Amino acid sequence: MNAAHVWIIYRKELRDALRDRRTLISSIVVPTLLMPLLLFGVGRLMQRAVAEAREEVPTVAVLGGEGAPALLARLSGDARVRLVPVPADWREAIAAKRLRAVLEVPARLEERLRAGEASPAVRIFHYQGELKSENGARVTERIVAEHRERVVTERLAARGLGPEAVRPFEVRRENVAPPEKVGGNLFGGLVPYFIILLCFTGAIYPAMDITAGEKERGTMETLLCSPVARLDLVLGKFLLVLTGSLASMFFVVASMAGSALLGGALFLGSSGAAAAGALPPGAAAAGMGSLPTIDPLGLAGVFAMVLPVAVLFSAVALTVSLFAKSYKEAQSYLGPLIVVVLVPGMIAALPGTELTARTALIPLLNLSLVCKEMLSGSWPWGYIALIFGSSSLYAAGALALAVRMFNREDVLFRS
Amino acid sequence: MIAAHGLTKVFRDRRRGELRAVDDVSFTVAPGRIYGLLGANGAGKTTTLRLLATLLRPTAGTAEVAGRDINLDPAGVRARVGFLATSTALYGRLTARETLEYFGRLHGLAPDVLRTRIDLLAGELEMHEFLDRRCDRFSTGMKQKTSIARTLVHDPAVMIFDEPTLGLDVMAARAVVRFVRACRDRGKTVIYSTHVMSEVEKLCDVIGIIHGGRLRDEGSLADLRARHGETDLEEIFVRVVGGEPAPPPLLPPR
C-alpha cells in the first residue's frame, strides 16, 4: 500500500464530491433537515390537531334523557359540552362528523336508581379513532362519571358515611428512573434506526458517483492508466465513501440533538403542557428538568459501535456500485438495499427481542440492540466486545471483497 | 521501445463462450517511430493496447514497454506510458489545472516540478485561457488539449493512442495528428490504432494489420505496397484480411 497515493486519491475525490450537488444533498442536507422536519413539521401538525380537538366544545345529543332530569340538567349546565337535539339519523351524523357523540340513558334511570335497582348501563356512541369524536365521548364520560360520584356520595351520606368508605386509600404512580434512562428507553429504538438509515444513504451516493458514475463518464479508464495500484485506488475511494457515511451520521445526530433541545423547550415550555392541561403551571417552568434526555456517554458509545458498520456499509456500497455499468444500474441495486438494511432495526424494536450471544452476532440487529442498552446507561461489556469484534470482521470481509472487485477486469471493463 | 512477444488475451463469457480477442501477437516499435495498428472494429486493437498499458493482464505472452515487463512490473509500465483513448475522459468537476495536478501527483512529481511542467504544457498547447475553468464546460477542442496534456504530464517515453480521432471534427482531428507527429519527433515510442486508412498513410512508419485477434501482416507502407502489388492501402487491407464478405443481393432471387 502506498499511503501517499491513497491520500492523493482521497483528497481529489473529496474535492470532487464537495462540488457534486447530489452527494452534498444526500450527505449533508437530508440528514440535517430530516429530524427538524419530522419533529417540527409532522410533530407540530399532530400536536396542533390534538390541541384543536381538545379545545373544541363537542356537540353531544342525549337519547332518553327524560328519565334522568338531574343528569340532563348537569349536562346542559356544563360548558365542556354543547347539548343538541337528537337528529333522526344520529348514527350517520356521528360518522359524518356532524355530531361528536350521543349519550343513551336507559328509561326511568333516576327513578330506578332511587328504587335501588341493579346498575343499568348508560351508553356513549362515538366514532372510534376520530380525534374530535373521541374527545366528545371522553368529556361526556367524565361528566357522567362525576354525576355518578355525586349519587354515590349522596347514598353514603344517607347512611351516615363519608366518601372514604368506598375509597379508603389513593393509588399513585411515580417515575424513579433518571431522565436519561427514560430517554434511552424512548429514543433507544429510534436513534440507532435513524443512524443506520443515514449511515447507509450517506454512503450510497458517493459510492455510486465514484464507481459506476466514473465508468459511465469514461474517467475510470483514465484513472486506471495512472501508476496507482488497485489497492490504493480502492482505499482512497473507500475513505471518501466512509466520509460521506460518517458525515451523514454526524449531521443527523447533531440535528437530532438540536431539535430535541429546541423542541423540548418549545413543547413543554409553552403550548404543549398548557393545552394538554396535564401539568400544573409550575411544571412547565421546570419542564427542562423533567424532559427525557439522551446520555452523552451513551451517544459516544453508539458512535463507536457504528464505526465498523459504517465501514461495512461503505465497502458494500462501493462493491455493489462498482459492479454496475451505470449510475442508473447502481441505483437499481442499492435502492432496495435501503429497505433490507432497515429490517434488523425494526426487529430490534419489537418487544421481546433481547441481546443474547446469538443476536450479538447478527449484523445491524446487534447494533440496534446494544445501542438501546448503552443509551439507557447499561454497559454489557462482554456483548459490546463481541459486537464490535464481529462487526469489524464483517467490515473487513466487505472491504476485502471491494478490493477483489477492483482487481476483476470483467467488472472494471463491463460493457 | 515496445516489444510484444506472443501476446494473447482470452475473454470468457457465459453466453458467447471463449473469445480470443488477441491471439499470439508479436511486434516491435523503436523509439522515434510510429507503429500503426490497423484493423476493423472488433479486430483486437483496443485489447492489444490495453494489454500494453497494463489495464488488462495477458492470458499468455508478454511485452516489454519502456524497459519494463507488463506482467512483472505493471505500475512501472504505467509510470512510463501516456495512454490516450476515446474512452479516457476528463473529470467534469475539476479544472484543467486540477486535472493535471492530480495525475502529476499520482506520477510522483514534486510540486515545483509539476508547476513548471503544467506551465510548459499549457504554453505549448495554448491552454492558459481555460486552465482554471471546469472541464465540463469545455468545447471538444479544449477537452482534447487537456487530455493530451494529461497524457504528457509525466513526460512518458512511450505513447499509446487508441483511435484518438474518433468522433472529432476535422480541425480537432488534425490537431491530434500533429501532436502524435510531435511525439515522434521528440524521440518517443508511439503506437497508434485506427481504422482510418488516410491517418495510417500520413502518420505511421510501420503498419501492422490486425484481424480476428491476429497480426496478419506488417511492414512500412512501401513494403506492403511492394508485397501486395497494390498502391491503395484499403485494397491491401482487404486482401490481407481475406477479402470482403459477399455483398447481399440487391434484389431477392426469383
CA distance to partner chain B, nearest, from residue A408 (Å) = 9
Q: Nine-digit cell at A195?
A: 443512524
Looking at beta carbons, which residues of chain A come within 8 Å of B55?
221, 224-225, 409, 413
Instruction: Tell whether the model's pLDDT for residue B76 goes beyond 50.
Output: yes
Mean pLDDT throughout A145-156?
89
Can you give the CATH number for the domain in which B36 is found?
3.40.50.300
Q: In this predicted model, what pLDDT tens digit does every residue of A241-253 receive, in sequence order?
A: 999 999 998 888 8
Domain architecture of chain A: domains with CATH? 3-37+178-412 (no CATH), 53-165 (3.40.190)
Q: In this predicted model, what pLDDT tens digit does every residue of B93-134 receive, in sequence order?
A: 999 999 999 999 999 999 999 999 999 999 988 899 999 999
Q: Pick from B116, B132, B155: which residue ends a domain?
A: B155
CA distance to partner chain B, nearest, from residue A4 (Å) = 9
Nearest to B65 by CA among B189, B210, B218: B189
Q: Pick from B155, B170, B194: which residue ends a domain?
A: B155
Instruction: Tell whether the model's pLDDT for residue A291 goes beyond 70.
Output: no
A218: nearest CA partner in chain B:
B89
Residue B1 has a pLDDT of: 93
Q: How many CB atoms lie within 10 A of CB B201?
A: 14
Mean pLDDT throughout A319-329?
93
B148 lies in the same domain as B163: no
Residue A273 has a pLDDT of: 39
B71 lies in the same domain as B161: yes
Residue A49 has a pLDDT of: 83
B121 lies in the same domain as B222: no
The pTM of this model reads: 0.81
* β-pair partners for B27: B4
What confidence tier does A266 reach under pLDDT thresholds 50, 70, 90?
Answer: low
Q: Sheet of A59-63: strands edge to edge?
A: A82-84, A59-63, A101-104, A123-125
8 Å CB contact of A226 and B106? yes
Looking at beta carbons, which residues of chain B come within 8 Å of A233?
none
Domain total in chain B: 2
- B248 domain residue, yes or no: no
Residue A87 has a pLDDT of: 92
B149 lies in the same domain as B48: no
8 Å CB contact of B106 and A9? yes
B214 lies in the same domain as B161: yes
Distance, CA of A163 to CA of A231 (rounded, Å): 83
Query: Which of the two residues, B148 and A253, has the higher pLDDT score?
Result: B148
Residue B94 has a pLDDT of: 96
- B251 domain residue, yes or no: no
Query: Which of the two residues, A245 and B249, has the higher pLDDT score?
Result: A245
- For residue A367, count CB atoms less than 10 angstroms from its CB and return exposed for 0-12, middle for 13-18, buried for 19 or more: buried
Phi, psi of B38 (to 5 degrees): -105, 130
CA distance to partner chain A, nearest, from residue B126 (Å) = 22
Distance, CA of A324 to CA of A343 (rounded, Å): 24
B35 lies in the same domain as B133: no
Q: Among the ranges A62-66, A120-124, B8-12, which has the highest mean pLDDT value?
A: B8-12
8 Å CB contact of B88 and A19? no
User: Would you say B60 and B75 are in contact if contact means Cβ atoms under 8 Å apart?
Assistant: no
B229 lies in the same domain as B180: yes
B205 lies in the same domain as B165: yes
What confidence tier does B246 reach under pLDDT thresholds 50, 70, 90?
Answer: low
B149 lies in the same domain as B161: no
Q: In this predicted model, what pLDDT tens digit does every residue of A354-388 receive, in sequence order?
A: 888 888 898 888 988 888 888 878 889 999 999 99
What confidence tier does A257 reach under pLDDT thresholds 50, 70, 90?
Answer: confident
B180 lies in the same domain as B110: no
Residues near B114 by Cβ (< 8 Å), separated by ≥ 6?
B100, B101, B104, B105, B153
B73 lies in the same domain as B166: yes
Asked if B102 has any chain A CB less than 8 Å from its own CB, the reply is yes
B111 lies in the same domain as B165: no
Q: Considering CB atoms only, which of B53, B92, B98 is closest to A217?
A: B92
User: Would you say A390 and A366 are in contact if contact means Cβ atoms under 8 Å apart?
Assistant: yes
> A254-263, A288-297, B217-226 — which is least confidently predicted?
A288-297
Asked if A413 has any chain B CB less than 8 Å from its own CB, the reply is yes
Which of helix, strand or coil describes residue B217? strand
- B139 domain residue, yes or no: yes
- B249 domain residue, yes or no: no
Residue A415 has a pLDDT of: 67
Polymer length of chain B: 254
Q: Which domain holds residue B187?
A: 2-80+157-240
- B250 domain residue, yes or no: no
Asked if A14 has any chain B CB less than 8 Å from its own CB, the reply is no
B94: nearest CA partner in chain A:
A16
Instruction: Tell whether the model's pLDDT for residue A150 goes beyond 80.
Output: yes
pLDDT cut 70: percent of chain B above it: 96
Instruction: Tell whether the model's pLDDT for residue A272 goes beyond 50.
Output: no
Query: Which of the two residues, A253 and A134, has the higher pLDDT score?
Result: A134
- B247 domain residue, yes or no: no
Q: Pick from B155, B189, B206: which residue ends a domain?
A: B155
- B253 domain residue, yes or no: no
B21-50 residues touching A, CB cutoff 8 A: 50
Asked if B107 has any chain A CB less than 8 Å from its own CB, the reply is yes
Instruction: Tell whether the model's pLDDT for residue B150 goes beyond 80.
Output: yes
Mean pLDDT throughout B43-61?
95
Distance, CA of A204 to CA of A75 (rounded, Å): 62
- B110 domain residue, yes or no: yes
Tell me whether strands B17-29 and B158-162 are parallel, antiparallel or unpaired.
Answer: unpaired
Phi, psi of A270 (to 5 degrees): -125, -110
Query: Which of the two residues, B6 and A345, has the higher pLDDT score?
Result: B6
8 Å CB contact of A225 and B88? yes
CA distance to partner chain B, nearest, from residue A410 (Å) = 9
Arithmetic mean of pLDDT over chain A: 85
Distance, CA of A44 to CA of A48 (rounded, Å): 6
Which of helix, strand or coil describes residue A227? coil
8 Å CB contact of B75 and A229? yes
Looking at beta carbons, which residues of chain A come within 8 Å of B106?
5, 8-9, 226-228
Instruction: Tell whether the model's pLDDT for residue B244 goes beyond 80.
Output: no
Instruction: Tell whether the model's pLDDT for residue A285 goes beyond 50.
Output: no
What confidence tier does A264 reach under pLDDT thresholds 50, 70, 90?
Answer: low
Q: Nine-digit cell at A306?
A: 457504528
